[in-house]
Amino acid sequence: MISFLDLKKINEAYATELTTAVLDVVNSGWYIRGGAVQKFENEFAEYCGVGHCIGVANGLDALTLTLRAWKELGVLAEGDEVIVPANTYIASILAITENSLTPVLVEPDPNTLNLCPVNTRAAITDKTKVILPVHLYGRAADMPAFVGLAEEFGLKILEDAAQAHGAIIEGAKVGSWGDAAGFSFYPGKNLGALGDAGAVTTNDPELANVILCLGNYGSSQKYINEYQGVNSRLDEIQAACLSVKLPHLDADTQRRREVARRYFQEIKNPHVLLPFLAEEMGSDLKHHAFHLFPVLCSDRDRFQAHLQESGVQTLIHYPIPPHKQMAFKEWNQRSVPVTEHIHQSVLSLPISPVMEHEDVAKVVEAVNAFR
């Protein structure tokens, strides 16, 4: 069986370094917000090309605390609208509702499956304050277009970069385009910790300070509380592990792109639609970090069963769109046809930096054999 994602194999490559890093933390006697967190924050800020990185407990908190900080700074108020793609992982939307802001679900571009700038413009109202593009599946959203809209209408941009570490648009990494960006280092993400972890990147020092403070009980000085904060801190062990893996991220992403390139070249099946190859992606595929390799198939469930029988494990990202979830009962009857079509036909093929040449060949063979 070709597994969808072999996390054990991914981390095995760094086993010695990870073990040393963890032991160093054990021996340091300092476990929360010490040297390892500071080191990783500096490294990741430099990697993304931004002034500040704030480690937090997970990717959802990275998004939630950024919106919360804008509320504390008077940029946002309850009820303000945040434009978010209708087809995203539910976390992007929960960060908005958690802050009593109003998510405005916008249909994606049916080619890129990412937030559509034309639909975004049409959704802007007097109450719109933030655009929250998601670099879904690892493909960079159309940031030049969103930056243009934000300038035109005076909006903030919060990137959800949880799936796209290292993707590059016009020479700049995701995470450096918006006013801020949220990253997740959940173990299965392209840069994965050995547990939960996340970070915000930004060039705004004031925002960075408020987020840091909010995630630390609203306190920047021990026992002095400026805000009613929460506990959301990146811990030393996870930070130390992330510092081990970050220097290898670009090579890992290149391996993902090699797998993708082979899928693009070798998969030939009229029933299976491959990800859209936009011209600006170029032959280097730089603007895609290929966290996932989603294909579309109108007979998706039978396709998935066929692959399973052929020894290829696949997953659906995602089986139920946010507006159809029980958590958002008030949206269940809404018609969001492009998003619903994607959710009904999308299937993620295995892709990872540790896939062997023969594994890719087996996936291609199984996909091409589907009738």
Ligand X SMILES: *Cc1c(COP(=O)(O)O)cnc(C)c1O
Binding site for ligand X (CB under 6 A): 58-60, 88-89, 91-92, 134, 160, 162-163, 184, 186, 196, 198
In the complex with ligand X, the residue whose CB is nearer, 69 or 360, is 69
Least distance (Å) between residue 185 CB and ligand X: 7
In the complex with ligand X, the residue whose CB is nearer, 89 or 146, is 89
Tracing tokens 């930070």 back to the chain, one arrives at 239
In the complex with ligand X, the residue whose CB is nearer, 139 or 156, is 139
Instruction: At 157, list the tokens.
Output: 């941009």
In the complex with ligand X, the residue whose CB is nearer, 352 or 366, is 352
Least distance (Å) between residue 163 CB and ligand X: 5
Q: How far apart are CA 82 and CA 94, in angstroms?
A: 12
Contact 82, 101 (CB under 8 A): yes
Least distance (Å) between residue 196 CB and ligand X: 6
Q: Is 359 exposed, middle or buried (0-12, 13-18, 19+ CB in 10 A)?
A: middle
Least distance (Å) between residue 37 CB and ligand X: 16
The residue at minimum Cβ distance from ligand X is 59
In the complex with ligand X, the residue whose CB is nearer, 239 or 366, is 239
Least distance (Å) between residue 63 CB and ligand X: 6
CA 49 to chain centre: 17
Closest CA to 162 of 235, 240, 59: 59
Least distance (Å) between residue 62 CB and ligand X: 8
The reply to whether omega before 47 is within 30° of 0 (cis) is no
In the complex with ligand X, the residue whose CB is nearer, 322 or 350, is 322
Closest CA to 331 of 121, 65, 97, 124: 97
In the complex with ligand X, the residue whose CB is nearer, 212 or 364, is 212
In the complex with ligand X, the residue whose CB is nearer, 198 or 350, is 198
Least distance (Å) between residue 160 CB and ligand X: 5
Q: Is 187 exposed, middle or buried (0-12, 13-18, 19+ CB in 10 A)?
A: middle
Least distance (Å) between residue 182 CB and ligand X: 7
In the complex with ligand X, the residue whose CB is nearer, 57 or 208, is 57
Contact 133, 117 (CB under 8 A): no
Least distance (Å) between residue 74 CB and ligand X: 26
Beta bridge partners of 199: 55, 183
* DSSP three-state, residue 225: strand
Closest CA to 95 of 60, 122, 69: 60
- Give the single-character DSSP code of 23: H
Helix (H), strand (E) at residue 70:
helix 59-72
Radius of gyration of the chain (CA): 20
The reply to whether omega before 227 is within 30° of 0 (cis) is no
| Helices 15-28 & 35-48 angle (0-180, nearest 10) | 130
What count of other Cβ atoms lies within 10 Å of the Cβ of residue 234?
Answer: 29
